[in-house]
């Protein structure tokens, strides 16, 4: 099977018919960047309703972590569906939820005893973390970062600082949430923790002038910013943030919804910096496409009483079985593959960077990689229209990509991606850049 294999004009006739119905009946709030109408998927390959085959470097926005319809995951789903589909884990007990709780709690990071609360999505996980932080500390304020995306429900939206469209028209938001700059190109963050400039600025500005630390319940941080542009922080940032939180009795909440579950080559991105958060938020790749989210908290933090929070569908038995199967595959080799293929991908993108002046910074860890599309590197000038044209042209060539940040291309394929598929994706991207007339040899 050759992939990609585009056999019709895009969208094809069957896709066009479905798109007309979608336009009539489905909410216009969804963001669709190209007219892909999916019929099936296997591994890193997507088939649309007209039989066209695409190489998927989106994984359904970093969700299909083990690939589309992995046989081990499908078998677990089928087996559980024949036994029990639902019996709310907030009111009753069943083994899949207990089994998954144990594996997540014992799987780190760090050495502290932990407990797990299940949700249906990443946004719900952030809501649960905000509630738990306020409950445990008795404090009301929270700190988050500009550029962060934590979800679209009210608490998660209030924590987000990514795009105006996420907030416009929805005020008033949740009060007592304060935003500070995320360290993009921060000088001084590679120093020891106590010397981290951007963290020290939180204490010197926010804590002194607006939000006294004794009123702050938690700091919410994406170890690698996701929608904001796949920015990897300097090595001193997260350890310094951990130290600041510990010193002030503030909980550190790591939003690993996109960066967790093996995507960066480790189970959790915070492990690259040796940091143990007080609460970790998970979703996306946790169950290979089944709806599931979770928070993992230190045992002494998750001390809320019975009835204080629950979720009817959170921890659904089918989703839990899918997550258990996902963990099997991550430990069996997909997590290591993410590290290896990620290095291959970054190297090949850096090769392209030498040939195209419109390619700016290449960054990321594991298979969470971004490449800026720019008007110029000096001065550094983003090119969102060109980035969007690249995404559209890649789709028509059979390569599925998404954007993020100001004008970055996001590469978050399934963790089962092969070396050959990485080479194919880079070749297709090269062809797209050349066809768009962007080939300006960088001196």
* pLDDT-above-90 percentage for the chain: 91
Question: Which residues are CB-contacts of 20 (< 8 A; sequence separation ≥ 6)?
Answer: none
One domain, residues 242 and 113: yes
Q: Is residue 404 part of a domain?
A: no
Model confidence at 180, pLDDT cuts 50, 70, 90, reads very high
Which residue spans within 214-264 are E strands per DSSP? 216-221, 251-255
One domain, residues 246 and 176: yes
Q: Is residue 181 part of a domain?
A: yes
Question: Out of 150-159, 359-368, 423-432, which region has the weakest mean confidence (pLDDT)?
Answer: 150-159
> Cα angle at 181 between 180 and 183, to 5 degrees?
135
One domain, residues 141 and 256: yes
Which residue spans within 86-194 are E strands per DSSP? 114-119, 141-145, 177-180
One domain, residues 166 and 288: yes
Number of neighbouring beta carbons within 10 Å of residue 156:
27
Distances from the Cα of 58 to the Cαs of 73, 401, 440, in angstroms?
19, 6, 27
Question: Out of 132-141, 154-163, 287-296, 399-408, which region has the weakest mean confidence (pLDDT)?
Answer: 154-163
* pLDDT one-digit tens code per residue, 98-108: 999 999 999 98
CA-atom Rg of the chain in angstroms: 22
> Cα angle at 241 between 240 and 246, to 5 degrees?
100
Helix or strand run (H / E) with residue 46: strand 45-48
Model confidence at 415, pLDDT cuts 50, 70, 90, reads very high
One domain, residues 203 and 259: yes
Does residue 315 have a pLDDT over 60? yes
Alpha-carbon distance of 144 to 161, in angstroms, equals: 8
What does the pLDDT read at residue 168?
A: 85
Spatial CA neighbour of 323 closest among 11, 46, 72: 72
3-state SS string for 335-384: HHHHHHHHHHHHHHHHHHHCCCCCEEEEEEECCEEEEEEEEEECCEEECH
What does the pLDDT read at residue 442?
A: 44
One domain, residues 145 and 291: yes
3-state secondary structure of 177: strand
Question: Out of 26-40, 48-62, 158-172, 400-414, which region has the weakest mean confidence (pLDDT)?
Answer: 158-172
- What residues does 376 pair with on adjacent strands? 381
How high does pLDDT run on average in the chain?
Answer: 95
Does residue 441 have a pLDDT over 70? no
What does the pLDDT read at residue 162?
A: 84
Spatial strand order of the sheet with 45-48 comes to 38-42, 45-48, 53-56, 399-400
Number of neighbouring beta carbons within 10 Å of residue 389:
15
Number of domains in the chain: 3
Residues of 160-169 as b/e, b for ≥16 C-beta within 10 angstroms? Answer: bbbeeebeee
One domain, residues 106 and 208: yes
Alpha-carbon distance of 105 to 98, in angstroms, equals: 10
* pLDDT one-digit tens code per residue, 149-177: 999 999 999 999 887 888 888 889 999 99
Q: Is residue 319 part of a domain?
A: yes
Q: Is residue 421 part of a domain?
A: no
Does residue 391 have a pLDDT over 80? yes
Alpha-carbon distance of 398 to 7, in angstroms, equals: 10
One domain, residues 81 and 152: yes
CATH number for the domain including 224?
A: 3.40.640.10
Q: Which domain holds residue 233?
A: 73-329
Residues of 217-245 as b/e, b for ≥16 C-beta within 10 angstroms? Answer: bbbbbbbbbbbbbbbbbbebbbbbbbbbb
Alpha-carbon distance of 206 to 65, in angstroms, equals: 38
What does the pLDDT read at residue 410?
A: 98
What does the pLDDT read at residue 1?
A: 80
Q: Is residue 312 part of a domain?
A: yes
Q: Is residue 375 part of a domain?
A: no
pTM: 0.95
What does the pLDDT read at residue 55?
A: 99
Alpha-carbon distance of 24 to 33, in angstroms, equals: 18
One domain, residues 37 and 127: no
* pLDDT one-digit tens code per residue, 220-241: 999 999 999 999 999 899 999 9
Spatial CA neighbour of 90 closest among 114, 63, 120, 134: 120
One domain, residues 127 and 4: no
One domain, residues 96 and 222: yes
Q: Is residue 186 part of a domain?
A: yes
Alpha-carbon distance of 208 to 221, in angstroms, equals: 21
Instruction: Show the tokens assigned to 5.
Output: 């294999």
What does the pLDDT read at residue 40?
A: 99
What does the pLDDT read at residue 443?
A: 36
One domain, residues 36 and 165: no
Does residue 248 have a pLDDT over 60? yes
Spatial strand order of the sheet with 251-255 comes to 114-119, 293-298, 279-282, 251-255, 216-221, 141-145, 177-180
* pLDDT one-digit tens code per residue, 111-141: 999 999 999 999 999 999 999 999 999 999 9
Q: Is residue 131 part of a domain?
A: yes
3-state secondary structure of 191: coil
Last residue of a domain, one of 56, 85, 100: 56
């Amino acid at each position: 099977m050759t992939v990609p294999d585009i056999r019709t004009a895009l969208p094809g006739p069957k896709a066009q018919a479905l798109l007309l119905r979608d336009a009539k009946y489905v909410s216009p709030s969804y963001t669709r960047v190209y007219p892909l109408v999916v019929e099936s998927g296997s591994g890193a390959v997507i088939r649309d309703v007209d039989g066209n085959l695409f190489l998927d470097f989106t994984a359904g926005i970093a969700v299909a972590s083990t690939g589309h319809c992995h046989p081990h995951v499908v078998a677990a789903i089928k087996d559980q569906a024949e036994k029990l589909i639902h019996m709310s884990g907030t009111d009753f007990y069943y083994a899949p939820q207990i089994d998954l709780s144990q594996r997540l709690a014992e799987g780190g990071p760090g050495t502290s005893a932990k407990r797990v609360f299940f949700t249906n999505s990443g946004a719900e996980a952030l809501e649960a973390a905000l509630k738990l932080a306020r409950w445990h500390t008795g404090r009301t304020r929270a700190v988050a970062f500009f550029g962060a995306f934590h979800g679209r429900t009210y608490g998660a939206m209030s924590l987000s600082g990514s795009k105006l469209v996420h907030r416009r028209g929805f005020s008033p938001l949740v009060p007592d949430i304060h935003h500070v700059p995320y360290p993009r190109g921060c000088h001084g963050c590679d120093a020891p923790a106590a010397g981290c400039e951007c963290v020290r600025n939180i204490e010197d500005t926010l804590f002194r002038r607006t939000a006294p630390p004794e009123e702050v319940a938690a700091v919410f941080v994406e170890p690698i910013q996701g929608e904001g542009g796949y920015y990897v922080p300097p090595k001193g940032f997260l350890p310094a943030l951990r130290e600041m939180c510990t010193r002030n009795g503030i909980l550190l909440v790591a939003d690993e919804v996109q960066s967790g579950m093996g995507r960066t080559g480790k189970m959790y991105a915070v492990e690259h910096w040796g940091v143990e958060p007080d609460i970790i938020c998970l979703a996306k790749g946790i169950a290979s496409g089944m709806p599931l989210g979770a928070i993992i908290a230190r045992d002494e933090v998750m001390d809320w009483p019975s009835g204080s929070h629950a979720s009817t569908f959170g921890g659904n038995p089918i989703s839990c079985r899918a997550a258990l199967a996902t963990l099997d595959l991550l430990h069996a080799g997909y997590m290591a593959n993410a590290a290896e293929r990620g290095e291959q991908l970054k190297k090949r993108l850096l090769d392209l960077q030498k040939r195209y002046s419109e390619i700016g910074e290449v960054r990321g860890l594991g298979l969470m990689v971004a490449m800026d599309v720019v008007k110029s590197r000096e001065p550094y000038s983003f090119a969102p229209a060109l980035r969007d044209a690249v995404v559209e042209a890649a789709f028509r060539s059979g390569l599925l990509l998404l954007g993020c940040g100001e004008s970055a291309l996001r590469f978050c394929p399934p963790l089962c991606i092969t070396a050959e598929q990485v080479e194919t994706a880079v070749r297709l991207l090269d062809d797209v850049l050349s066809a768009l007339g962007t080939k300006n040899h960088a001196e």
